[in-house]
Amino acid sequence: MVAKVHSAAVLGVEAYQLEVEVNLALGLPRYSATVGLPDSAVKESKERVEAAIKNSGFDFPAKRIIVNLAPADIKKEGSNFDLPIAIGVLAAQENVIPIESLKEYLILGELSLDGNIRGVKGVLPIALNCHKLGFKKIIIPEDNKNEAGVMQNIEVYPVSTLLQTVEFLNGKCEIQPYKVDMENLFRNESVYDVDFSEVNGQESAKRALEIAAAGSHNVLMIGPPGAGKTMLSRRMVTILPELTLEEALETTKIHSVAGLIPTGKGIIGTRPFRLPHHTVSDAGLIGGGTYPKPGEISLSHNGILFLDELPEFNKKGLEVMRQPMEDGEVTISRVATTLTFPARFMMVAAMNPCPCGYFGDLYHNCTCSPAMIQKYISKISGPLLDRVDIHIEVPSLPYKELISKATGESSIKIRDRVNKARKSQIERYSGHKNLYCNAQLTQKDLKKYCVLDSTSENLLKLAIEKFGLSARAYSRILKVSRTIADIEGAKDISSAHISEAIQYRTLDRKYWLR
């Protein structure tokens, strides 16, 4: 006898429907095979399924069992199929589960040996596409109920054991559809546990980060160890515009696929802040594997990717980041498949000014030669620096500022200014399809939206000649100047905006090593 159970799986960050077909035939009693391109975790499900069925009080059929996962030409990964396989084995027997009761449900979950059901990855993208796949009801593990419960157009039935699932399908156990108050959940999750008011001093760095947040500019901070670069970076997400519900679902979907949603949480309400170690592999940073998984740049989608000790990162991995930084997505091609993951993020990086870390520091002597410093800085390629609009120095704090009890501006006040600046940019670029902030301006757009008066032009010309600023620095200065003007509420760029923007090009100045 053949039983069919509807399930779903995730390819990239999108869900597709999957049928679990279980056939019981005469022959030697054994679980013969799982077919349909299963990986090791899927193949091992037969031991979990058999033990779970027996330990739940059911008889395991003394027949030859074959399980097929269709479509058969797509690789099946993970433990999501344990529960539908077990349900299929029981439904293929007579008088255990009526096959007709399975037609309207999508079922997924991992089984433990005692019949309990564990949470699985990728529930949110499956729930998001459940209606498109033609289903209005889904049976999921109890641990994933908040994740799927955010969807209002489907009925979510959380289960905790195989026995409970069987009784529910037989009509012997009633489970109420689980719903989450989306607005309340989103509001509760949209709280940060850090604030800019906690940072003493570093007013110039705070100002630069505010400008970066307002225009979505990538930032590089340069300073000695302990100056506060990481502390500032961790708090930068608190001044970015609030995460919208649509962005929250996009972000949560990626984290769901990666299995990074904490148990009990249904949605990520704050902008992600990812801090990979500099020993991260290329696949860990960009994404990849035999069957590609999202990397750090995708997990930073709609948030910040912080690269501490930038020169210590693998140069190949950094160079591969250039295309996603421009396009907002990364495409990973392998022999088996080609997948595209979203990757629209702000890059915030930090580095020491030299190998010992104390070049230019007022409180420590630098032990590095000019050649050593130049070699250290040259680890960062020009094309990568070309995508970083703001370079700022973060000096060591004097003792007086370090112990100061005065509190700075809160993140809420700074974010209000950022929101106003972003609003003006959205209005200005409303006629452009893929342009919503100053960091995305092309050379053509710069000529239209960054017109300078004669005083500003002369100032910029003087800076280029005196400091030896590069051609790439010219457009970066214009973009940052446009953002500064937006923060100030100015319609046109003035010489004061140009003057401030010039200060944020530290690595482009020829006198850096003098």
pLDDT in tens, 51-65: 999 999 999 988 899
**E strand or H helix at 185, and its extent?**
helix 182-189
Average pLDDT on 159-167 reads 96
pLDDT above 80: residue 32 = no
Check residue 30 and give its pLDDT: 77
pLDDT above 90: residue 345 = yes
Check residue 361 and give its pLDDT: 85
- Residue 77: which residues within 8 A CB-CB, separation 6 or more? 9, 39, 41, 42, 291
pLDDT above 60: residue 509 = no
Radius of gyration from C-alpha coordinates of the chain: 28
Specify the residue for token string 């797509």. 74
Average pLDDT on 23-33 reads 80
pLDDT band of residue 402 (cuts 50, 70, 90) is low
pLDDT above 50: residue 513 = no
Average the pLDDT over each of 179-188, 242-251, 344-353, 471-480 and give the range with the smallest value: 179-188
Q: What's the sign of the alpha-carbon dihedral 426, 429, 432, 438?
A: negative
Joined together, the tokens standing for residue 44 give 């091992």
Percent pLDDT > 90 in the chain is 55
More confident residue, 325 or 402: 325
Average pLDDT on 244-263 reads 89
Check residue 514 and give its pLDDT: 41
Average pLDDT on 201-211 reads 91
Q: For residues 26 and 298, what is the distance between their CA atoms, to the nearest angstrom?
A: 49
Q: How confident is the model over 442-482, as pLDDT tens digits?
A: 888 998 999 999 999 999 999 888 887 777 788 899 999 99
Check residue 356 and give its pLDDT: 92
pLDDT above 80: residue 499 = yes
Check residue 389 and give its pLDDT: 92
Q: For residues 419 and 241, what is the distance between their CA atoms, to the nearest angstrom?
A: 6
**E strand or H helix at 417, and its extent?**
helix 411-428
Of the spans 283-297, 313-327, 456-470, 479-493, which averages the highest pLDDT?
479-493
- CA 289 from chain centre, in angstroms, equals 17
Check residue 156 and give its pLDDT: 95
Q: How many residues are there in the chain?
A: 514
Check residue 106 and give its pLDDT: 95
Check residue 472 and give its pLDDT: 76
pTM of the model: 0.89
Q: For residues 309 and 376, what is the distance between their CA atoms, to the nearest angstrom?
A: 11
Average pLDDT on 307-331 reads 90
- CA 451 from chain centre, in angstroms, equals 36
Q: For residues 91 and 358, what is the distance between their CA atoms, to the nearest angstrom?
A: 70
Mean pLDDT score across all residues of the chain: 89
pLDDT band of residue 511 (cuts 50, 70, 90) is very low
Specify the residue for token string 């709609």. 302
Decide: 273 and 237 in contact? Cβ < 8 Å.
yes
Write down all domains in the chain, each with its CATH number in brackets: 2-180 (3.30.230.10), 190-431 (3.40.50.300), 441-514 (1.10.8)
Q: Which residues pair with 221 in a beta bridge?
A: 350, 392
Q: How confident is the model over 92-142, as pLDDT tens digits?
A: 987 789 888 899 999 999 999 999 999 999 999 999 999 888 899 999 999
A 10 A CB-CB count for 326 gives: 10
pLDDT above 60: residue 4 = yes
A 10 A CB-CB count for 77 gives: 21
